[in-house]
Amino acid sequence: MRFSMSTYSSLGKKIFMGFSGLLLCGFIVVHLIGNLTLLLPDKDPFNKYANFLTTELGNVIYIAEFLLASVFLIHIIYAIIVTLGNWRARPQKYSVVRDAKHTSKKSFASKTMIYLGIVIIAFIVWHLLHFKYGELIMYTTADGKVIRDLYIVVYKFYGNIVNVILYIAVMALLGFHLSHGFWSAFQSLGISGKRFTPFVFGLASVFAVLMAAGFIALPVWIFIITGGAL
Element (H, E) at 138: strand 138-140
DSSP per-residue string spanning 22-75: HHHHHHHHHHHHHHGGGGSS-SHHHHHHHHIIIIITTTHHHHHHHHHHHHHHHH
CB 112 within 8 A of CB 93: no
Q: Interface mask (CB under 6 A) for ligand HEM, residues 56-95, using x and -?
A: ---------x------------------------------
Q: Per CB under 6 A, which region of 27-35, 78-86, 90-98, 139-147 contacts ligand HEM? A: 27-35
For the bound state, the minimum distance from the C-beta of residue 158 to ligand HEM, rounded and expressed in Å, comes to: 8
| Residue 110 within binding range of ligand HEM, rule CB under 6 A | no
Among 25, 118, 127, 187, binds ligand HEM (CB under 6 A): 127
Subset of residues 179 to 208 that bind ligand HEM, contact rule: CB under 6 A = none
Rounded distance between C-alpha atoms, residue 109 and residue 196, angstroms: 21
Shortest separation between residue 56's beta carbon and ligand HEM, angstroms: 11
Spatial distance between the Cα atoms of 179 and 174, rounded to a whole number of angstroms:
9
Give how many residues touch ligand HEM by CB under 6 A: 20
Residues of span 135-174 touching ligand HEM by CB under 6 A = 150, 154, 167, 174
Based on the number of CB atoms within 10 Å of its own CB, is 167 exposed (0-12), middle (13-18) or buried (19 or more)?
buried
Which 8-state DSSP code applies to residue 94? P
CB of 67 to ligand HEM, least distance (A): 10
Residue 33 touches ligand HEM, criterion: CB under 6 A: no
Question: Do residues 13 and 81 make contact, with C-beta atoms less than 8 angstroms apart?
Answer: yes
Residue pair 172/123 in contact (Cβ under 8 Å)? The answer is no
Q: Of 31, 102, 106, 111, which lies in the binding site for ligand HEM, with binding defined by CB under 6 A?
A: 31
| Binding flag, residue 13, ligand HEM (CB under 6 A) | no
Torsion of CA 130, 30, 192, 82, to 10 degrees: 20
35 near ligand HEM, rule: CB under 6 A: yes
**Candidates 9-17, 100-108, 120-128, 138-146; binding stretch for ligand HEM (CB under 6 A):** 120-128
Residues that bind ligand HEM (CB under 6 A): 28, 31, 35, 50, 53-54, 65, 120, 124, 127-128, 131-132, 150, 154, 167, 174, 215, 218-219
